[in-house]
Amino acid sequence: MIKKEMVPFRFSDKEVQCWFGVSFDDIREQLSDKRVIWVTDEHVYQKYPEEFPAGECIILPAGEAGKNQDTVNTAIEELLNMEADRDVFLVGVGGGVVTDMAGYIASIYLRGVKFSFAPTSVLGMVDAAVGGKNGVNVGLYKNQVGVIRQPEHLFYNFSFLNTLPELEWISGFAEIIKHACIRDAEMFQFLLNNSLEDFRQDLNVTGDLIRRNAELKYKVAAGDERESGQRRLLNFGHTLGHAIENITTMPHGFAISIGMVFACRLSEKLIGFDPEKTEALKYLLKKYHLPTETDFDKEKAWDILVHDKKKSGDTIHFILLKGIGEGVVHPLSLSELKTLFFEM
Amino acid sequence: MIKKEMVPFRFSDKEVQCWFGVSFDDIREQLSDKRVIWVTDEHVYQKYPEEFPAGECIILPAGEAGKNQDTVNTAIEELLNMEADRDVFLVGVGGGVVTDMAGYIASIYLRGVKFSFAPTSVLGMVDAAVGGKNGVNVGLYKNQVGVIRQPEHLFYNFSFLNTLPELEWISGFAEIIKHACIRDAEMFQFLLNNSLEDFRQDLNVTGDLIRRNAELKYKVAAGDERESGQRRLLNFGHTLGHAIENITTMPHGFAISIGMVFACRLSEKLIGFDPEKTEALKYLLKKYHLPTETDFDKEKAWDILVHDKKKSGDTIHFILLKGIGEGVVHPLSLSELKTLFFEM
């Protein structure tokens, strides 16, 4: 088993206790002096019903479709009905949708109560739960509402991965590959030398990989929580990816995978990224069962893309690659991007 | 006219530029390098339509009844339709309801954009706009959802008071009297020596009084933004006041006025507050046309009171007076308070 260990993640206004290799019992013990209300979704609850005490648990609908203000309003009403006061402690247990919403609910309820996360998916563990971004979608537009606020703890219970569906494994590895592309060429090679099946069979190795990714995400996000500098690198593949995700409703990681290939092509055109490296990325993505292209309505995608919240005036900070492991922020005018986008 | 002057209000994470004695033109000049979207309500808009540029303005419904998440959702959709990006700057122009909602909208839109306030009412100027609390009501419960976030600027344009209805003047003076009770015995005497009619006739004197109150509120709130210590003093009169406001729908200041008299009676019973001082407060409140008692459903008020978000476990931090100008935080068990409440 993976050794239990606490690593402090130091953000500008808070130190998050990041616990690797813990069990449900460890989490309960850590929070034994608090009134904990658990926030999870239908899927996680069905798999682990005995872990969630009746009456102290909010069960959200599963999936991206329920990631909206209506779901948050219902949760707020449940908290009021439970007479949860300012000392209540929310623990979000689930994938990225659950932790994004649990963090947002905790941030606005009574103008903010404390919270922690126990991510249950690869994507949640390596990405969504780390960095303090939370929120909900507004119609087709992703994460247009939310705040930035760090949890008290991150609890990594790798046993959740035993019940994680294959599609979720695949989707999560898209973010791992993204991390490799922007910051970790060595990990890119490590991923090439292994396969999804290897990782699914050896949770010890996977635990180490997830920790490496959580720490990478933390280091890129810390000190730039509001994303005005290097945190932008984490959007590699996401500008087009979010648009494709919205119009095709494919899983997040799948859409991001296609977005990464697009960003590599753009990198070739704009900053001389080696086309062979694009092929290497495509090979790696396919190896992890991720798509590298899809048919989609370009006009529709463009409309969503221009609403992208990373836009600043007429400039989009597009993330390109100089090399594998070398992401760069490249300011691009909307008109320039539009021409390139419709050409490609 | 009142001299234009900037006073920095230093909160734990931000310095707010507090401008006294400014005009609409001064505000526009200060923000001339930004894309400003104005947030106001129907009443203010009808009085000053020429000040709000068409297409760059969100007009909220006027009054407490519209202070809810639905109104916020509509405003968020308007911002998306205006293609407001992360560099947008919201300016809330209105009473406490407007600034509370504008601050909340700015705090959650795209995970937070910058904002400033130009309060238009006495209550907004001396209380609601200062201190960074924002949010909306949930059903009968006030301000159950929101965040704590400071604006970039506070703009005091005293000419707004020329069009302020009498009822709003009266309601605002309840918070001024509250400040005198908890922290400023000299101001209590000053208020006794003057009248509402005096203040309405001389905006120079009123401007000074408002500045004194804004600075008092700032000093009590700064360093305790999350209200775990002395900021609690500002709740004097508010525990019962909020409950009465909800069940009778009387104006905020009127309900708080009745709540202050109740808190004085409680202070007599629990910490020996001089009953003659209670009479002095009642005299002052009446002088400013504020009610000191009302008929209300005690059972209903109690139900709302126990949901008060200031509650911490079974303890309410009730604000009592030792003397005029000497507010104290008094922890009281719910059962103790219940007995006293139904006896009185």
What tens digit of pLDDT does each residue of A69-103 get?
999 999 999 999 999 999 999 999 999 999 999 99
Query: What is the C-alpha to C-alpha distance for residues B30 and B25, in angstroms, rounded to an integer?
Result: 9
HSE at residue B290, side-chain half, CA atoms within 13 A, is 32
Cβ-based neighbour number of residue A89 at 10 Å:
19
For residue A52, the one-letter residue type is: F
Domain match, A275 and A332 both:
yes
Based on the fold, state whether residues B148 and B183 are members of the same structural domain.
Answer: no
A41 found inside a domain: yes
Q: Which domain holds residue A319?
A: 177-343
B143 contact A CB<8A:
yes
Are residues A55 and A23 both part of a single domain?
yes
Q: In the listed set A105, A138, A164, which residue is the last one of a domain according to the structure?
A: A164
- Locate tokens 């900037």: which residue? B6
Strands (DSSP E) found in A128-252:
136-138, 141-145, 153-156
Q: Are B304 and B243 in contact (CB under 8 A)?
A: yes
Q: Give pLDDT, residue A1.
A: 62
Examine the domain organization and report whether B144 and B194 are in the same domain: no
Return residues 149-208 of B near A (CB < 8 Å): none
Q: Which residue has the tokens 């809330």?
A: B92
Q: Which of A233, A253, A236 has its CA nearest to residue A244?
A: A253
Give the pLDDT band (50/70/90) at residue A289. Answer: very high
**What are residue B148's DSSP bridge partners?**
B133
A232 within a domain of the structure (yes/no): yes
Q: Are residues B333 and B211 in the same domain?
A: yes
- The pairing of beta strand B315-323 with beta strand A315-323: unpaired
What residue type is assigned to position A237 of the chain?
A: G
Q: Which of B86, B307, B313 is closest, CB to CB, to A309?
A: B86
Q: What is the mean pLDDT of residues A233-250?
A: 93
In a domain, A220, yes or no: yes
Segment 55-94 of chain B within 8 Å of chain A by CB: 69, 73, 76-77, 80, 83, 85-87
My answer on whether A336 and A247 are in the same domain is yes
d(CA B318, CA B337): 9
Contacts of A313 in chain B (CB under 8 A): 85, 87
Mean pLDDT for back-to-back runs of 10 residues, chain B (344 residues): 90 95 97 97 97 96 95 97 94 98 98 98 98 94 94 98 96 98 98 97 96 98 91 96 91 96 98 98 98 95 80 85 98 93 91
State the angle between helix axes of B298-306 and B238-248 in degrees (0 to 180), rounded to the nearest 10. Answer: 120
Residue at token pair 């300016």: B91
In a domain, B172, yes or no: no
Report percent pLDDT > 90 for chain A: 90
* ipTM surpassing 0.90: yes
Q: Using a CB-CB distance cutoff of 8 angstroms, which residues of chain B are in contact with residue A85?
A: 309, 311-313
**CATH number, residue A147:** 3.40.50.1970
Give dist(CA A209, CA A44) in Å, integer. 23
Number of neighbouring beta carbons within 10 Å of residue A109: 25
Query: Residues B182, B160: one domain?
Result: no
Say how far apart CA B161 and CA B47 lie, in whole Å.
12
Identify the bridge partners of residue B333 per DSSP, sorted by sequence position. Answer: B315
Domain end point (choices A136, A164, A192): A164
The count of other CB atoms within 10 Å of the CB of residue A163 is: 12
pLDDT the model gives residue A148: 97
Domain-located, residue B171: no
And the tokens for A335? 């008109």
| Model confidence, pTM | 0.94
B18 to chain A, minimum CA–CA distance in Å? 23
Q: Is the pLDDT of residue A39 over 60?
A: yes
- Whose tokens are 């405003």? That residue is B75
Could you say which residues from 313 to 342 on chain B have a Cβ atom under 8 Å away from some Cβ of chain A?
313
**Are A130 and A211 contained in the same domain?**
no
- Burial (Cβ within 10 Å: 0-12, 13-18, ≥19) of residue B68: middle
Supply the CATH number for residue A194's domain. Answer: 1.20.1090.10
Of residues A13, A87, A312, nearest to B87 (C-beta): A312
Backbone phi, then psi, for A174, in 5-degree steps?
Answer: -60, -40
What is the C-alpha end-to-end distance of chain A, expressed in Å? 47
Residue B169 lies in a domain: no
CB pairs under 8 A between A and B: 94
A272, part of any domain: yes
Give the span between the Cα atoms of B245 and B255, in whole angstroms. Answer: 5
For chain B, the farthest-separated pair of C-alpha atoms sits apart, in whole angstroms, at: 59
The answer to whether the CB atoms of A83 and B309 lie below 8 A apart is: no
Asked if residue B318 and residue B228 are part of one domain, the reply reads yes
Q: Who's near A222: CB < 8 A, 6+ residues apart?
A: A9, A10, A11, A12
* Residues 261-320 (A) with a CB less than 8 A from some CB of B: 306-307, 309-313
Tell me which DSSP letter residue A120 carries: -
Question: Residue A325 class from Cβ within 10 Å (0-12 exposed, 13-18 middle, 19+ buried)?
Answer: middle
Total tally of structural domains belonging to chain A: 2
Same domain, A135 and A261: no
A57-63: average pLDDT:
97
Last residue of a domain, which of A164, A186, A218?
A164
- In this structure, the answer to whether residues A201 and A265 fall within a common structural domain is yes
CA distance A50 to B256: 47
Q: Does A129 map to a domain?
A: yes
